[in-house]
Structures are given as structure tokens and as C-alpha cells.
Amino acid sequence: MQQVTIKNEYISLTTIPYGAIIQELLVKDKNGEATNMVTGFSSPEDYLTDTISLGACVGRFAGRISGGSIIIDGSEYPIYEEDGVHLHGGKEGFARKYWTLLEVNEGSQPYVKYGYLSQHLEEGYPGNLEVAVTYILKGNSLIIKHEANTDAPTIVNLTNHSYFRLDNEASIDHYSLRVAAECTLQTDNLLLPTGRLTPVKNTENNFLEEKAIGKTLLDTPFVVTPNEPDTVEMYSNKSGIRLRVTTNQPAIVIYTPEEFPGICFETQNYPDAPTYSSFPSSILNPGETYINESRFIFDLVP
């Protein structure tokens, strides 16, 4: 499987066409050692049996949808569900598809661009959806830009599912984390939103002020506070590396797996947005362009 590496003086990024996956993201730590910022496999072929979307582009709808169907313009479309939940676009979603390498630029602002055509009724979704994801290196930032166009009304919610880590330690308990979110989406026992918001004050999800992650397990949709310079700030005192995340999306699902050290920052629309009229709309119509642009900024903090 073809690997594509782009680099500048701060970052080296390796991607593969399967799932448009970020396989490796190298940044130098405080000792000048190149450190991989994402959990992944050394062999591209190992991703073919991965079931947790390591580094992949997730869609057509990232996150959870309830009920096993969606209604668009009065028409109901059955979608794949398991135990009452449609997750990350269905049985395969975009994370288990081969994308087309569209463009590689190795100039002063390197980028690699992948495309995928999701056909009408793939996973139950209406409309032929043309999707592109571009990974751009700009200084010490990785910019991930998702774009989509459709020929019929549909729903779209794309994100990247990288598991970030800032050092090679066996745990992320020592990472400090700050999240610019005063509320989370309340969820039920299936992690489906109830339609209500929960203030983070006096809860374990209060990361308004920087604090250690510790033993907190997260699989939580945070409602992004608008106009904050950084949505997320995370730091490892072991490597000296700080990661900041900015996004044009209204929510960020933060997920920490129990099995290995890593943390996902899934910038996206609200999970289950098609179910709740009070949530931001996920409808994309012909003639419109969906854009999800998020920036991951790496620097060193003494």
C-alpha cells in the first residue's frame, strides 16, 4: 500500500489511502528527538484489520445516530445499526474504504489530498457524496480540511479519528488538559445524546481550567465555546510538547480508550444531530459545500 510522506522543518506526516489514514505524525520533543504524535501501526497492511478507526477519516456521519433510520425532506432512509446505535457512518463507513490520492505538494506549504465518492444509498445515506480531505503542514501546525458536495439532500458529519499522544509513556494520566467548553451534551447509557446540555461546573468533565487527565475516562461530546483562541490545549511535561486544537465545528468529542495510551479530539457537529431540531443542522444540499477545518498546533513549553 502506498505511503505518502510530507514534511517541513517542524512536522513529518505520513498517510495512506486506506481510510485516508494518518499513519505517523513526527514532532521533535524537548530533547530534539522525533516523537510520533499518533498511535498507529508500522505496517500499512495492519490497518486492514483495525476496528477502531486509528487515524482515519470517519463518515458519512461521525459519532452516533439513534433509531436505525434518518428522515430527510420527509423521506425515511434505513441505516445500519447495532444495538440501537449507528456509529461512525455504518458497518464500514469511510474509515474502511480506499481513497484516491488526488494531489501531493511538497512546496513551502506541503499538503496531501485524498478523495472518495460515496455513492447514493451507501450505508443507507441518500445522494452521491464527493468527499475530499486535505492534510496541510503550515509551520508548526497540521491543518485537516474535510470538504463534501452532494447531488441530493443528505447528512454529513466528518472528522479525523487519530489517537494523539505527546510522549512514549505507557499512560496519559500525567497530561494536562484544558477544554474551552462550558457544557457537554448529556448522553444516555448508549452514549446517545438526550437533547439536553449539561454544564461542566462541578463535574469531572470540567476542564475549563488546565488540570491533569488522571484516571478520567472520556467518551464525551463537548460543546465548543465560540471565539476561543484554542478549543483544546494539552501538554506533556515528559516531552515538553504542547498540542493546541482549533476548529470551525460546534462540538468536539473527546475519547480516551482504556486499552492503550491515546486521546481522540473528534471535531465535528453534534452527535445525533439529525434527531434533534435544536441541534445544528447536518443537512447538506446540492450546490452547498460542507467544510470542516481543524488545526492541530504543536510547540514546546519549557
Q: What pLDDT band is residue 119 in, cutting at 50, 70 and 90? A: very high
Instruction: Supply angle C-alpha 61, 66, 71, rounded to 5.
Output: 70
266 part of the active site: yes
pLDDT digits (tens, 9 = 90+) for 23-36: 999 999 999 999 99
User: CA dihedral in degrees (86, 288, 115, 22; nearest 10)?
Assistant: -60
pLDDT digits (tens, 9 = 90+) for 150-166: 999 999 999 999 999 99
Catalytic residue among 174, 266, 288, 293: 266
Residues 6+ apart with CB under 8 A from 50: 41
Summary mean pLDDT of the chain: 97
Please give the pLDDT value at position 206: 97
Please give the pLDDT value at position 302: 78
Mean pLDDT of 274-289: 98
Instruction: Break the chain into its structural domains and give their ranges.
Output: 4-300
* Domain 4-300: which CATH number of 3.30.70.870, 3.90.226.10, 2.40.50.40, 2.70.98.10: 2.70.98.10
Catalytic residue among 161, 210, 259, 293: 161
Q: Rounded to whole angstroms, how far apart are CA atoms 110 and 140?
A: 12
pLDDT digits (tens, 9 = 90+) for 167-213: 999 999 999 999 999 999 999 999 999 999 999 999 999 999 999 99
pLDDT digits (tens, 9 = 90+) for 233-264: 999 999 999 999 999 999 999 999 999 999 99
Q: Rounded to whole angstroms, how far apart are CA atoms 129 and 120?
A: 7
Please give the pLDDT value at position 227: 87
Please give the pLDDT value at position 6: 99
210 part of the active site: no
User: CA dihedral in degrees (120, 123, 124, 129; nearest 10)?
Assistant: -30
The percentage of the chain sitting over the pLDDT mark of 90, rounded to a whole number, equals 97
